[in-house]
Structure 1
Amino acid sequence: MIRKNKVISWVMLLVWMGIIFFMSNQTGEVSGNQSDLVIKIFEFLGIRLDSYFGELATFIIRKASHFTEYLILFLLLYRVNCLYMGKRNAKLYTLLGVLLYAGSDEIHQYFIPGRAMAFKDVIIDISGGGMAMILTWIYENVKSNKES
């Protein structure tokens, strides 16, 4: 059973890293179209982001995507790291892993037409990882208090 959990954890992590890589490998035009699609989905749901934020709507969608991608990456990487070390070390190594992957992702984007390498995106990415770290800490503390 433990071996099965390890395999599942590793597969989920690697698939998610692949998804991030695939999304970063899209040209600037394709990436922009994906952001527009998200805005249209919100519009279909009755939320007109353009009327609230104007031109900033696409920017907000793009940065929220960065934040969310790396929040999820933290959770998946943390799950894998917990298989091999204590939770405190796992959190630190996971945050470092998120930082390294975010940095390598921005370097990757530098070579994609219509995309750019942006330090601010690494900050947003690591913020998503940091939020996930805070959420896991809260969850683990609430869980241990309930068990006491």
Structure 2
Amino acid sequence: MLKIILRVLPLLYMIVIFILSSMPADAVVELPRWDSLIKESLHLVEFGILYILLFLAALTIKEVSPRLNLILILISSLYGLSDEVHQYFVPYRSATVIDLIKDVIGVLVASWIVFGAYQRKRFHKLGNLLYHIGNLK
């Protein structure tokens, strides 16, 4: 059951990203003092989470090689690009290259942490957890 959940989560998360990107920026929550700063920094987190979910889904199917890791990075980053293109056409939203850069940086940081742990080069406790998830196959 956990294997199925891990495989479906990235798709559900991508749907949530699309739905939220279809709404005005202040439709869900507005934080009076720090709204802009917090929402801008979420670009770094949002697509890093997508990469992590894709990585976990991939682990339930096969070992994640450096080549597969690169594919996961590309998928996450290209979804960030598609999100920016989508926002360009949504009233009250904007699409910027800076936002895309933040999306990609979030993906790369998540990859550095997760793939490094998976290869057991750093973050050994996380690496052990990923090893156990990989044994769900």
Shorter-chain TM-score range: 0.7 to 0.9
Q: Tell me the distance in 2 between the aligned counterparts of 1:81 and 1:123.
A: 25
Please state if 1:114 is matched with 2:108: no
How far has the Cα of 1:134 moved from its partner? 1.1
Question: How far has the Cα of 1:25 moved from its partner?
Answer: 0.5
Distance of 1:78 and 1:86 partners within structure 2: 8
Length-normalised TM-score, structure 1: 0.72
Q: Distance in 1 between matches of 2:29 and 2:96?
A: 18
TM-score, length-scaled by structure 2: 0.77
CA distance, structure 2, for counterparts of residue 34 and residue 61 of structure 1: 13
Higher RCO by CA contacts (8 Å cutoff, separation 6 or greater): 2
Q: Who is 2:74 aligned against?
A: 96
Aligned identity (percent) is 27
The corresponding residue for 2:16 is 19
Partners of 1:78 and 1:90 within 8 A in 2: no
For 2:14 and 2:62, the matched residues in 1 are separated by 19
Q: Which structure carries more helix by proportion?
A: 1
**Equivalent residue, structure 1, for 2:111:** 133
Distance 2:86 2:62 in 1: 29
The CA distance in 1 between the partners of 2:64 and 2:47, in whole Å, is 22
- Structure 2: distance between partners of 1:135 and 1:86: 14
Instruction: Decide whether the 8 Å contact of 1:35 with 1:61 is kept in 2.
Output: no
Asked if structure 1 preserves the Cα contact closer than 8 Å seen for 2:10 and 2:54, the reply is yes
Higher radius of gyration, 1 or 2:
1
Question: Where in structure 1 are there 5+ consecutive unaligned residues?
Answer: 41-49, 51-56
Equivalent residues, number:
122
Deviation at 1:32, TM superposition (A): 2.4
Runs of 4+ with >4 A deviation: none
Matched, 1:32 2:26: yes
